[in-house]
Amino acid sequence: MNDQIDLNPESAATTDEQDNLPQAAIQKIYVKDVSFEAPSLPEMFTVEYKPQIKMEMNSKSRQVADDNYEVILTISVKSEIDEKTVFLAEVQQAGILLVKNVNDEQLQHTLSVMGPETLYPYVRETISSLIGKTGFPPVQLAPINFQALYIQKLQQAQAQAAEAGSDASETTIQ
């Protein structure tokens, strides 16, 4: 057996420092839920396929263990022709993120930006493949800037807080 022991106290300090650095890493990626409905098939195969495509997206997260968080990115894609639903596909793509040594603001940023950014290519592929198997052309979802969405959400929250604060001051003045 050839065990090596590092007797240099400086290298031990750097290991401790590294243990205290902010960390974020994907531990697992998985499909949590898939739903597909095509209520107007096969009749929709007989009409010209020029659909209206609508997409909705939602992201949520929760702590599942010490330093481990589940992030769920839900994407719903609905195709309609003349107000008839051609299909409705919904996918919940999830992942477990290890996040350590961060403050609350950094944690929220990681769960709201890094998590969905990592999951989005997987959910895009799942939706495209799912729809392609119906006989319709696959839907290619456009890239999304999750950083910009996060900043927009923060600005909206700040504006609402400022508005609520001005409402409160108006009430106390009257």
Question: What pLDDT, on the 0 to 100 scale, is given for residue 92?
Answer: 98
Whether 167 shows a pLDDT value over 90: the answer reads no
Q: Model pTM greater than 0.75?
A: yes
146: helix, coil or strand?
A: helix
Tokens of 52: 């209206």
Can you tell me the distance from the alpha carbon of 129 to that of 151, in angstroms, rounded to the nearest whole number?
Answer: 31
Is residue 169 very low, low, confident or very high in pLDDT (cuts 50, 70, 90)? very low
Can you tell me the distance from the alpha carbon of 157 to that of 150, in angstroms, rounded to the nearest whole number?
Answer: 11
Close Cβ partners of 48 (under 8 Å, ≥ 6 residues apart) = none
Tell me the per-residue pLDDT of 61-120, one tens digit each, with 9 for 90 and over. Answer: 999 999 999 999 999 999 999 889 999 999 999 999 999 999 999 999 999 999 999 999
CB-based contact 22:100 (threshold 8 Å): yes
In the chain the domains, ranked by start, together with CATH numbers, are 34-137 (3.10.420.10)
- Name which of 130, 24, 37, 117 is nearest 73 in CA terms: 117
